[in-house]
Amino acid sequence: MYRRTNLSQAIDAPTGQGAVPRRDGKSPDLAAVLRYLARLAGGGHPFAAGQCQVRPLGGGFNNRIYEVDTGHGVYLVKVYPADRGQRQEREYAAMSRLSFLEAVPDAVTGETWATELNAPVLVYRKLPGAPVKPENMTREDLNPLLETMHAVHGVSDPGDPALARPAGPALPRDCLDFIDETIHALAASAALNDPSFREALERLRDLRRCLDLMDLRTALWTECPPCLCHGDFRPANVIKADPDRIGLVDWEHAGIMDPLFEIAGFFWHPESAGMAPGLREEAIRDYCERSAHSHAYERMAVYQAILPVQWCVRILSLIEGYDRQPVQPWNEPRPLEVLWGDLDRYIGLAAERSGTISG
């Protein structure tokens, strides 16, 4: 439900529940957002001038989103958890650095700490469209998406210290270290008393050993250093307005990493499971053909072998810590039985890929 308000008149609104400092992960209420927007209006910020309609839009795993319809544009106010100021910095910097791309939202303003919200906040123009459904994606959908990723990955100088931080692996060894550390931690868990858990962990150990057969020659990576990447590239963050217009949102994890890992990660993400058969391979081949990175095919093959195993250990880790995982009030955890189903599917995928290594 929208709430209509004149922000220039709301700046002296009484302080209420939304102004109470919150460090428990809960986001501010609508009244606090209105007070924040009223301050912008009182400071002469053109975005917040005059009449507007504001409504909660829900949120992601950690953040809350509010939609602001000013009559001359629709904007989103993204409120981060109180301890996620660095994510706000990354997202603001990424949107600013990539403002030349139509697929990236235009950042309007942001603060690493807004007193009215007791949290970091970012305001940006809302992209038209809705999140893509992988099962409905076509080659025509993927063409503009891959073009966008080529443009993002073509940025060698991030231009901001916030974006110069690692966002993911620079080398396959980083992925293998994560897998090894996670397996080691799981092996010390009390969950080993469960025969199903113990059997799954042994299967993952077998799959990990298969990865030692991969070609990890240093030369495959040293010729092309890591570059700017989205950091959370998956279908839920892709907005489709029409077949030839694609947007990419949620840049709070942006930073430096291997772009080949990012592309492989999109197509091996659980959200991409419903994609039409053959579309993944066709799109990956197209990206590699157009890539300026040396040995793109060889590097992509390595990541396609690693990612199913990496997802296996991540899913088993979620199962092991199911009762301890933090969940925001507006979210529900994925049911445990569904996680076991995900694990079975990814063990099967990992086994298929291990066959291509040994073959």
- pLDDT tens-digit profile of 236-274? 999 998 767 899 999 999 999 999 999 999 999 999 989
What does the pLDDT read at residue 25?
A: 42
CATH topology of domain 134-234+255-358: Aminoglycoside 3'-phosphotransferase; Chain: A, domain 2 (3.90.1200)
Average pLDDT over residues 31-60: 87
Average pLDDT over residues 65-77: 93
What does the pLDDT read at residue 217?
A: 79
Q: Does residue 327 register a pLDDT over 80? A: no
Residue the block writes with tokens 């400071």:
43
CA distances to 201, 311, 331, 334 from 59, in Å: 34, 24, 9, 16
Q: Does residue 61 register a pLDDT over 80? A: no
Is 2.10.110 the CATH classification of the domain at 3-125? no
Q: Does residue 359 register a pLDDT over 90? A: no
Band (pLDDT 50/70/90 cuts) for residue 198 is very high
What does the pLDDT read at residue 9?
A: 45
Band (pLDDT 50/70/90 cuts) for residue 219 is confident
Q: H helices within the chain, ranges in order? A: 30-42, 85-97, 139-153, 172-187, 195-210, 219-222, 259-267, 279-290, 296-320, 336-358
Domain boundaries, the chain: 3-125, 134-234+255-358
Per-residue pLDDT tens for 3-38? 555 554 443 333 333 333 333 445 568 999 999 999
Share of the chain above pLDDT 90, in %: 70
Per-residue pLDDT tens for 84-134? 999 999 999 999 999 999 999 999 999 999 999 999 999 999 999 999 999
Band (pLDDT 50/70/90 cuts) for residue 227 is very high
Average pLDDT in the chain: 88
In this structure, the dihedral spanned by the alpha carbons of residues 259, 264, 265 and 270, taken in order and rounded to 10 degrees, is: 160
- DSSP readout, 305-351? HHHHHHHHHHHHHHHHTGGG----TT--PPPHHHHHHHHHHHHHHHH
Q: Does residue 204 register a pLDDT over 50? A: yes
Q: Residues with Cβ < 8 Å from 170, sequence gap 6 or more?
A: 221, 225, 226, 256, 257, 258
Per-residue pLDDT tens for 296-311? 999 999 999 999 999 9
In this structure, the dihedral spanned by the alpha carbons of residues 165, 168, 174 and 175, taken in order and rounded to 10 degrees, is: 170
